[in-house]
Amino acid sequence: MNTTAAIAPRNGARWLTQALEAEGVETLFGYPGGTIMPFYDALVDSKLKHILVRHEQGAALAANGYARASGRVGVCVATSGPGASNLVTGIADAMLDSVPMVCLTGQVATHLMGTDAFQELDVFGLTLPIVKHSFIVRRVEDLPEVVRDAFRIAREGRPGPVLIDLPKDVQVADASHLPDHVPAQVQLPPAPADAALAEALAAIAGAEKPVIYGGGGIGLADATEVFREFVEATRIPTVLTLRGLGALPGGHPDYLGMLGMHGTRAANMAVQESDLLIVVGARFDDRATGKLAEFAPFARVIHLDADAYEISKLRTANIAVPGDVAAGLRALVGARSTCDDWRKRCRMLAEKHGFRYDAPGTDIYAPALLKRMTELAPDDAIVACDVGQHQMWVAQHCKFNHPRNHLTSGALGTMGFGLPAAMGAQFACPDRTVLLVSGDGSFMMNVQELVTIARCRLPVKIVLLDNSSLGMVRQWQELFFARRYSEIDLSDNPDFAALAEVFGIPAKRIDRRDQVEGALADLLAQPGPALLHVAIDIKANVWPLVPPNTANSTMLDSNPADAKAPEAAQRTESAHALPA
């Protein structure tokens, strides 16, 4: 223990560490620097577990993953200037996906603010569009109210990130006169109106082709169990968004899969044919709806959401049910739905258009590998992923038994999200299996956090799909840009297995289908961190796909150009190659 610090009067930084403890914070992620140094000095005598990352973006995304997996507020810390600006992508990701976070940034002393001092940056202004609220603490006496409000705002209503900018002189100011911190009570969302619920019950009873369309708001509202009760009670065919996956178990007989751009054909066809959409915690995102004007053209809409501003924002709700999502679903569990013929039709669609895993050849087929991965993993395993083709394969082929078990960057699509998010999830859930599925493009964006995983001996299991390209960009260039491949060649990737071993992480590389079963078993059996480097075909694409600005009924299962001009598939990809 630092004896000098222990007997010194309590300053602002020491008061803040004690306040974080009072808020229930156990773990925080950060990187020290000049203006935040008083806070780091106070950490020496605190009960907080600080995780030293190797880049501030890693801190923000680790806090993000911690919050997603646990439902608790994630906390990250950085110094002023570049430290704070490096947090921005992780903060924006949390804002767009409604993840509760409190972000602490150092700032130059108040008398230097506005003078272009060393590492001064207007973090308050910089983050205004990507936080629920920003605070600058100008007096030590303001700390109690700021911290209380920051955690309340992060948790309350639709969750999100809050930033606290801490000038250095506030951190070192005498705080011995401040009261001990007491967390604020979080205001619960209001109960839905009885009239709206009665109207919804009548609409469900009268619908012939109803579909439940569930989104990320189910997990945010801790409404997973009652959502499942609602589906079980009504037996209405159900589709989920990317962020809603896990709200219903993958094998449920009334589950049709994910809808949208890379959704299942059964899900998209059912939505397009439906006469009633029961929307629960979803926001009609463009990747889910396709061409909005042609989305579910025959359907009336019941919309339940905790955020009243989402209702009728993009699609007018015939019956608006704002307020507590769990309470709304609980009231609708008694709904009566007589749609047996429609249910049979939807099951037929699901059986007819189900995914196949018998691809020809000896190369590794990524969808089959990912399906097998979640079959071998424990039922409560957490799967984090990055952004790109592998993200969609994870969504299509992995099975999740709870929304918090699927960590994915939805609205922002942040490459580099997966590794630090998995790290944060493992700290939040130390007794659970945490798997990371990444691509060779995304993985390199925060590869430095392998050091953090190795240092902390976090047992994160990494499956790295390597097609030596920016796969999703390559697929779009193939389909929509006349195969004019531009800047997607990653054939100079390092040997990822050797790279992991440099960090002290056991690794293996496979490139044949007959190696998959044993390699996955070995990966999951490792007591600590491990990496499986999986080489896959550069030409592998994600199917089905809804082309941009088209209706979800317009789904592609292959490149139309291949049927018209098979020789195009053999075309030399000279623009794809590295410079000579």
Which residues carry out catalysis? 56, 118-119, 168, 472
DSSP 46: S
Pick from 560, 569, 559, 557: which is nearest to 262 by CA? 557
CA atoms within 13 A on the CB side of 429: 23
Pick from 328, 275, 273, 268: which is nearest to 300 by CA? 275
Check if the beta carbon of residue 398 is closer than 8 Å to that of residue 383: yes
Rounded Cα distance, 422 and 418, in Å: 6
Rounded Cα distance, 371 and 461, in Å: 16
- Taking the CA atoms of the chain, what radius of gyration do you get in angstroms? 25
In angstroms, how far apart are the furthest CA atoms of the chain? 80
Pick from 169, 95, 168, 96: which is nearest to 134 by CA? 95
Check if the beta carbon of residue 69 is closer than 8 Å to that of residue 431: no
**Residue 524: what residue type?**
L
Rounded Cα distance, 208 and 342, in Å: 7
**Residue 419: what residue type?**
L
Residue 319 CB contacts under 8 Å (≥ 6 apart), including other chains: 196, 199, 200, 203, 300, 301, 302, 303
H runs (alpha helix) in 162-193: 168-172
Instruction: Give strand pairing partners of 52.
Output: 30
Rounded Cα distance, 551 and 437, in Å: 30
Backbone angles phi, psi at 132, to 5 degrees: -70, -35
Pick from 451, 457, 421, 449: which is nearest to 437 by CA? 421
CA atoms within 13 A on the CB side of 513: 13
Structure tokens at 201: 């019950």
Pick from 429, 452, 445, 450: which is nearest to 52 by CA? 452
SS (H, E, C) 375-395: HHCCCCCEEEECCCHHHHHHH
H runs (alpha helix) in 71-118: 82-85, 88-96
Residue 391 CB contacts under 8 Å (≥ 6 apart), including other chains: 385, 408, 409, 437, 439
Q: Is 56 exposed, middle or buried (0-12, 13-18, 19+ CB in 10 A)?
A: buried
Rounded Cα distance, 104 and 101, in Å: 10
Rounded Cα distance, 135 and 124, in Å: 7
Check if the beta carbon of residue 562 is closer than 8 Å to that of residue 477: no
